[in-house]
Structure 1
Amino acid sequence: MTYTVKEIAVALGASAFGATDILITRAAEPAMAGPDDLALAMSLKFAESLAEGRARVAMLWEGADWEALGLEAAIIAPRPRFAMAGLTGMLDQGQGYATGIHPTAFVDPEAVLGADVSVGPLAVISKGARIGAGSVIGPQCFIGWNATLGAGAYLREAVSIGARVTIGDRFIAQPGARIGGDGFSFVTAEPSNVESVRKTLGDQGDAKAQDWTRIHSLGSVTIGNDVEIGMGATIDCGTIRDTKIGDGTKLDNQVHMGHNVVIGRNCLICGQVGIAGSATIGNNVVLAGQCGVNDNIFVGDGVIAGGGTKLMSNVPAGRTMLGYPATQMDKQVEGYKALRRLPRLMRDVVELKKAVFNADKDA
């Protein structure tokens, strides 16, 4: 795929300058860019390495002097990183999946496939499944009984979707995503020591050891439009009602969503986040890497939690949280700074004690 500088700029809603008929074959970092590449020098910091490569054209920030940088042409965008999203979409060559249904795939006769659906090698589409038009079902994927995918779904290799899962349009699942397994839900015949600990925050009581009995998952999973699920992410079915993900939400690699969890619209759930059963996450929430969310709590709209944060109780809308247990980010940072000052403070206390002791002896 090749595009002229002008074609790229028009597609991105950006401005083109210089020799706009130069053909671009790929994007590259400035120091590695060749003469047919578009160097992504989107700030002064990155532009400093243009001289290390051979780029003739670069994407730059507003106000950049492209001629002074020795370029023959430039694309200047008001928000270069946003323009980068469109650029990468234009230049993405995909995974090379073939069109049509591969001869080694199994498609149940009672499954319904829309127009132009691609099904890769060794994929399985079960009875009653419905796949929307233009969808791609990659190699070794599994689509369960009566599952529904909307139009334009794109499933990479070895994605599994369980029975009765319902997914909206333009869904993307990265390799190894698992949607619709049974929830981790077990109970004992009599109140257990775990229940005592939850009440007392310490005392196990006198409960005897008991067998765990599984609670079956009668619910499934419902996912809205424009959702993306990362590699190795796992989403449990609900116990009675469905586990839910709202429109536009993105889950990173190795995210785990427990049974009955509800996530709102346009959330970013980053790598290795774990959300325990029956938690409710509002709209536009960002949970950075390795955050943990306790079961049966809510996290309000617009909350941002920094990396490694453990949310143990309800979080009001708009809060910015950090730490374990989580507190407001500015307070947590203030506490970190105080901890770093403790060794010096203790040395000062020791010196003061010596001075007081010596003064008492002299008296």
Structure 2
Amino acid sequence: MTYTIQQIAEALGLTAEGNGALTVTGVAEPQSARADELAMASTPKYAEALKDGAARAGFLWAGADWRALGLEAAILPPRPRFSMSALTAMMDRGPGYAASVHPSAVIDPGAELGADVSVGPLAVIGRGARIGAGSVIGPQVFVGEDATLGEGALLHAGVRIMARVRIGARFIAQPGAVIGGDGFSFVTPELSGVEKARQSLGEEGTDSAQSWARIASLGAVTIGDDVEIGANSTVDRGTVRDTMIGSGTKLDNLVTVGHNVVIGRDCLLCGQVGVAGSSVIGDNVVMAGQVGISDNLRVGDRAILGGATVVLSNVPAGRVMLGYPAMKMESHVEAYKGLRRLPRLFREVADLKKAVSKASGND
């Protein structure tokens, strides 16, 4: 792929600075950029490394003095990181899957494939499955019985879409994602030690050993449009009703969504997030890495949960939370400052005790 700086700028809705006819074949970090690559130096800090590379053109920031940086051409977006979205899409070479149905793929005669669907080696598509037009089914992908995929889906190698899962348009699943595995639902004939401990807040524990009986997952998973699921992430099917994920929501790698969970629109769940069964997540919620949501809770719209936050109670809309257990971020920061002051406080109290003891001994 070869583009002129002018072509790139026009595709981003921006204006090319300098020699717009200059061509590039890709992008690179400034210190390693070749002469035929666009240097990604979106802040002055990154631009310092331009001197170590050979770039002639740079992707900088609004108002940057590109001539002083030794460049022949530049693109100056007002919000560089946002413009990177279109730029990287333009430069993306794709996963490299062949645009055809591989002869080793196993496709049930009862499956329906839309126009221009490609299916990779050793993929399996079950009876009654429906694949939307323009979808790409990568190698060793499994699509189960009566599952539905909207148009423009991209399932990378090793993705598993289980029976009766329903997914909207432009779905992307990274390698190893599993959508529609059974929920983790087990029960004992009588109250278990876990139930007793929960009801008594730990005062009462296990007094007898019991075996676990499995609760089957009769529901499936319903996913909206423009959803992305990261590598080795899992979304469990519901017990009776479907687990649901709203349009525009993105899951990072190693995210676990439990049975019966409802996640709203345009949410962002970062790596190693775990959402326990039957919890409800509102719209536009952001969960940083390793956030944990206990079962049967509600997280309100636009809430932001900082890294490693553990939520044990409902979170109001718009709240920024941090810590274990989760609390308002400003409260957590204040508590952490107090915790760091404790050693000094202990020393001061010890010194005061010594002073009082000496004064008492002198009386």
Normalising by structure 1, report the TM-score. Answer: 0.99
Following the alignment from structure 2 to structure 1, what is the Cα–Cα distance between the partners of residues 322 and 95? Answer: 38
1:96 aligns with 2:102: no
Greater mean deviation of Cα atoms: 337-346 or 188-197? 188-197
Secondary structure class of the residue paired with 1:244: strand
Q: Say whether the 8 Å CA contact 1:291–1:305 is kept in structure 2.
A: yes
Q: Which residue of 2 aligns with 1:51?
A: 51
Secondary structure class of the residue paired with 1:74: strand
Following the alignment from structure 1 to structure 2, what is the Cα–Cα distance between the partners of residues 194 and 170? Answer: 41
Q: Say whether the 8 Å CA contact 1:285–1:301 is kept in structure 2.
A: yes
Q: Which residue of 1 aligns with 2:296?
A: 296
Question: Residue 292 of structure 2 aligns to which amino acid in structure 1?
Answer: G
Secondary structure class of the residue paired with 2:104: coil
Residues 137-286 of structure 1 correspond to what in structure 2 (within 5 A)? 137-204=137-204, 208-286=208-286
Q: Post-superposition shift, 1:230? A: 0.2
Q: Post-superposition shift, 1:205? A: 5.6
Secondary structure class of the residue paired with 2:76: strand
- Share of identical aligned residues, percent? 64
Following the alignment from structure 1 to structure 2, what is the Cα–Cα distance between the partners of residues 360 and 213? Answer: 68
Following the alignment from structure 2 to structure 1, what is the Cα–Cα distance between the partners of residues 95 and 148? Answer: 23
Following the alignment from structure 1 to structure 2, what is the Cα–Cα distance between the partners of residues 10 and 280? Answer: 42
Q: Post-superposition shift, 1:274? A: 0.6
Q: Which residue of 2 aligns with 1:136?
A: 136
Q: Say whether the 8 Å CA contact 2:194–2:205 is kept in structure 1.
A: no
Following the alignment from structure 1 to structure 2, what is the Cα–Cα distance between the partners of residues 5 and 328? Answer: 46
Secondary structure class of the residue paired with 1:194: helix
Secondary structure class of the residue paired with 1:321: strand
Q: Which residue of 1 aligns with 2:287?
A: 287
Query: What is the aligned residue count?
Result: 363
Q: Post-superposition shift, 1:353? A: 1.1
Residues 32, 206 of structure 1: alpha-carbon distance in 2 compared, 3 angstrom cutoff: closer
Residues 97-136 of structure 1 correspond to what in structure 2 (within 5 A)? 97-136=97-136
Secondary structure class of the residue paired with 1:30: coil
Q: Post-superposition shift, 1:209? A: 2.1
Following the alignment from structure 1 to structure 2, what is the Cα–Cα distance between the partners of residues 345 and 330? Answer: 22
Residues 335-354 of structure 1 correspond to what in structure 2 (within 5 A)? 335-354=335-354
Following the alignment from structure 1 to structure 2, what is the Cα–Cα distance between the partners of residues 193 and 350? Answer: 43
Following the alignment from structure 1 to structure 2, what is the Cα–Cα distance between the partners of residues 43 and 194? Answer: 52
Give deviations 1:51-105, integer Å, cap 9, x for gaps. 0101100011111111111100000111111111111101111121111100000
Q: Which residue of 2 aligns with 1:21?
A: 21
Q: Post-superposition shift, 1:345? A: 1.0
Normalising by structure 2, report the TM-score. Answer: 0.99
Unaligned segments of structure 1, at least 5 residues: none
Greater mean deviation of Cα atoms: 73-82 or 183-192? 183-192
Q: Say whether the 8 Å CA contact 1:194–1:204 is kept in structure 2.
A: no
Q: Post-superposition shift, 1:304? A: 0.4
Q: Say whether the 8 Å CA contact 1:250–1:268 is kept in structure 2.
A: yes
Q: Which residue of 2 aligns with 1:2?
A: 2
Following the alignment from structure 1 to structure 2, what is the Cα–Cα distance between the partners of residues 284 and 206? Answer: 40
